[in-house]
A and B are shown apart, each in its own frame.
Chain A
Amino acid sequence: MLSVRRPGHLMQGKVAFLAAFLVSVSLANAGETEKTMKPYTEKIANTDVTFDMVPIPGGEFVLGSPAGEKKREDDEGPQIKVKIEPFWMGKHEVTWNEYDVWSFNLDIQRRKLTRVKADAKEKAADAVTRPTKPYTDMTFDMGHDGYPAICMTQLAAKTYCKWLSEKTGHYYRLPTEAEWEYACRAGTTTAYSFGDDPSKLDDYAWHYANCNDTYQKVGKKKPNPWGLYDMHGNVSEWVLDQYIPDAYKKWSGKGTLKFPVNVPTKLYPRIVRGGSWDDEPEELRSANRIYSSSDWKIQDPQLPQSIWYHTDAIMVGFRVVRPLKVPTAEERKKYNLDPIIPADEGR
Chain B
Amino acid sequence: MTQSNDQSTSRRDFLKVSTATAVGTGVLSSLGSTAHIYAGGDDKVKVGLVGCGGRGTGAASQALSTDGNVKLEAMADAFDDRLDRSLKNLQKQFSGRPERIDVAEEKKFVGFDAYQKVLDSGVDVVILATPPGFRPIHFEAAVNKGVHVFMEKPVATDVTGVKKVLAAAKKAKDKKLAVGVGLQRHHQAPYIETINRLKDGAIGDITSMRCYWNGGGVWEPRLDRKDAKSEMEYQMRNWYYYNWLCGDHINEQHIHNIDVCNWLKEDFPVKAYGMGGRQVRTDKKYGEIYDHFAVEFEYADGTRMYSQCRHIRNCWNSVTEHAQGSKGSCDISGAKYQTNAGYKWKYRGKKPNPYQVEHDDLFAAIRKGTPYNEAEYGAKSTMTAILGRLATYSGKPVTWDQAMASNVNLMPKDFSWEATPITVPDDNGFYPIPTPGATKVL
Contacts and interface: CB of A to CB of B under 8 A. Distances in A.
Interface of A: 1-3, 5, 100, 104-106, 109, 132-137, 139-141, 144, 208, 213, 243, 245, 268-269, 278-280, 283, 290-291, 293-305, 312, 315, 344, 347
B313 A295 contact: no
A133 B219 CA distance: 6
A142 B30 CA distance: 28
Most B CB within 10 A of own CB, among A1, A100, A278: A1
A283 B20 CA distance: 11
A2 B19 CA distance: 38
B10 to A, nearest CB: 13
Considering the complex of A and B, which 9 residue pairs feature the smallest CB-CB distances, nearest first? A3-B81, A302-B54, A137-B317, A104-B313, A303-B57, A303-B58, A293-B21, A137-B215, A137-B319
Given A100-B313, A303-B90, A279 B26 contact: no
B313 A2 contact: no
A100 B58 CA distance: 27
A215 B353 CA distance: 23
B353 to A, nearest CB: 5
Contacts of A280: 15
21 contacts: A2-B79, A3-B81, A104-B313, A109-B313, A136-B215, A136-B319, A137-B215, A137-B216, A139-B317, A141-B319, A141-B333, A290-B19, A290-B20, A295-B17, A295-B27, A296-B18, A301-B55, A301-B58, A303-B54, A305-B58, A344-B85
Contacts of B354: 299
Given A2-B222, A134-B215, A303 B93 contact: yes
Contacts of B79: 1-2
Contacts of A140: 319
B243 interface: no
Given A5-B227, A303-B58, A344-B85, 8 more contacts: A105-B313, A133-B215, A133-B217, A278-B18, A295-B27, A298-B27, A301-B59, A304-B92
B89 A303 contact: yes
Contacts of A105: 313
Nearest to B182: A301
Given A279-B19, A303-B54, A303-B61, A137 B318 contact: yes
A228 B199 CA distance: 48
Residues of A contacting B: mostly: loop
Interface in B66-117: 79, 81, 84-86, 89-90, 92-93
A301 B21 contact: no
A293 B25 contact: yes
Contacts of A132: 219-220
Most A CB within 10 A of own CB, among B21, B26, B59, B89: B21
A39 B142 CA distance: 66
Contacts of B81: 1-3
A304 B318 contact: no
A264 to B, nearest CB: 14
Interface string B300-321: 0000000000000110111110
A136 B317 CA distance: 9
B19 A104 contact: no
A84 B218 CA distance: 42
B318 A141 contact: yes
A268 to B, nearest CB: 7
Interface residues of B, number: 58
Interface string B158-185: 0000000000000000000000000010
A208 B27 CA distance: 26
B216 A133 contact: yes
A211 B59 CA distance: 36
Interface of B: 11, 15, 17-27, 30, 54-55, 57-62, 79, 81, 84-86, 89-90, 92-93, 184, 213-220, 222-223, 227, 237, 253, 313-314, 316-320, 333-334, 346, 353-355
A315 B19 contact: yes
Contacts of A135: 215, 218, 253
A301 B182 CA distance: 10
A297 B213 CA distance: 20
B336 to A, nearest CB: 8
A106 B313 CA distance: 8
Nearest to A136: B319
A134 B216 contact: yes
Contacts of A303: 54, 57-58, 60-61, 86, 89-90, 93
Contacts of B213: 136
Nearest to A275: B19
B214 A137 contact: yes
A304 B23 contact: no
Nearest to B25: A293
A293 B55 CA distance: 21
B26 A291 contact: no
B345 to A, nearest CB: 13
B218 A133 contact: yes
A140 B335 CA distance: 13
B186 to A, nearest CB: 14
B55 A302 contact: yes
A283 B21 CA distance: 15
Contacts of B24: 268
A291 B23 CA distance: 9
Contacts of A5: 227
Contact of B58 (A141, A245, A278, A302): A302
Contacts of A100: 313-314
